[in-house]
Structure 1
Amino acid sequence: MQLKLQFKNPKKQKQSYRGKKKKHTLKVQAVIHYKTQEILSLCMCKDTVHDFELFKKHLKQIPVDAFILGDNGCQGIYSVYAQSLLPFKAKRRCKLDPELKVYNREINNRRIGIEHVFGDLKTFKILAERYRNRGKRLGLRFNLIAGIYNMELSKK
């Protein structure tokens, strides 16, 4: 005889909570023009989603004919978006060829400007430290900060 019991969860955690890390996770992915360093679009997610999954969800927000320089978090991007470059990863217990190292260095030299944009955005302390405000308003606040950054960039 089977006994069916229904338990109510006494602790109602939000969808963004991850027990393994003991944290609520919020992720923002930005599309930045690498020459002008202008923030073109933002993609937000309240759950722990892999970078590539977030990219595939918001593929329509990417400007037409954009060329993407990604990091190693977007492996397999060529199957979804043909105009993209990623650095090569070394296989286990194998070193990269010198030509591939030069290739990776060229990609990373172009991406360094994008990383500087993220550093500049962290001058707003709300992004540099733990986000303690409402999770629903993260998108609004990040869009405002991106707008302020783009406005300051146009003044230079």
Structure 2
Amino acid sequence: MKASLSTRLSALLNDQRRAENHIILAKKRHTLKTEIRVTKKGCIVHVSKTHPGSMHDFTVFKAEKRPPKEPRLFVASGYQGITDIHQNADFPCKASKNKPLDAEEKEYNTGLFKVQVVVEHVFGDIKTFKIMADRYRNKIKRYNVKFRTSHAKG
């Protein structure tokens, strides 16, 4: 009786050890995504509704009110395909393994990144309110209201 119990116990432990080698632990994140539109001078002109963090940036853009056709949009490379919706959209050129960027494309990207720095400064200012910097520990329904009121225009 003891032999069969110890055999079963060792088999169970071996199964657990094998299972531990194949388990991938990932901490679940319940993230939120908010799109912010900023002028070249750093003024926030639009704050989108809050969406789940897993939603793609371009999907968030399509779900929101479209910007007017006149102004130029400087967007991140995740917004590829935006030129079908907004003709005056610019996003950085991408290099591939086989085709590096030439000097003209690098210069174009440098100009875009100079505009993007203004947006990054706005994000830094937003983080001083701690709503974006820290984990939000309140009701998700209230997040959008608190985000908008802490970053109200004017």
Q: Which residue of 2 aligns with 1:25?
A: 31
**Counterparts of residues 5-16 of structure 1 (less than 5 Å):** none
**Counterparts of residues 6-155 of structure 1 (less than 5 Å):** 22-35=28-41, 37-43=42-48, 44-46=50-52, 48-60=54-66, 62-63=67-68, 65-147=70-152, 150-151=153-154
Q: Please, which runs of 5 or more residues in structure 1 have no aligned partner?
A: 1-18, 152-156
* Alpha-carbon offset, residue 93 of structure 1: 3.7
Q: Please, which runs of 5 or more residues in structure 2 have no aligned partner?
A: 1-24
Residues 66 and 21 from structure 1, CA distance in 2 versus in 1: closer, same or farther, beyond 3 angstroms?
Answer: farther
Normalised by the length of structure 2, the TM-score is 0.76
Maintained 8 Å contact 2:92/2:108: yes
- Counterpart-to-counterpart distance in 2, 1:66 and 1:55: 16
Residues 25 and 50 from structure 1, CA distance in 2 versus in 1: closer, same or farther, beyond 3 angstroms?
Answer: same
Q: Which runs of 4+ in 1 moved over 3 A?
A: none
Give me the identity figure in percent: 36
What amino acid is aligned across from residue 30 of structure 2 in structure 1?
A: H
Secondary structure in 2 aligned to 1:41? strand
- Counterpart-to-counterpart distance in 2, 1:47 and 1:24: 7
Secondary structure in 2 aligned to 1:128? coil
Structure ID, larger Rg:
2
What amino acid is aligned across from residue 56 of structure 1 in structure 2?
A: K
Normalised by the length of structure 1, the TM-score is 0.76
Secondary structure in 2 aligned to 1:87? coil
Deviation per CA, 1:81-117, whole angstroms, max 9, x where unpaired?
Answer: 1111101011234311111000000011111111100
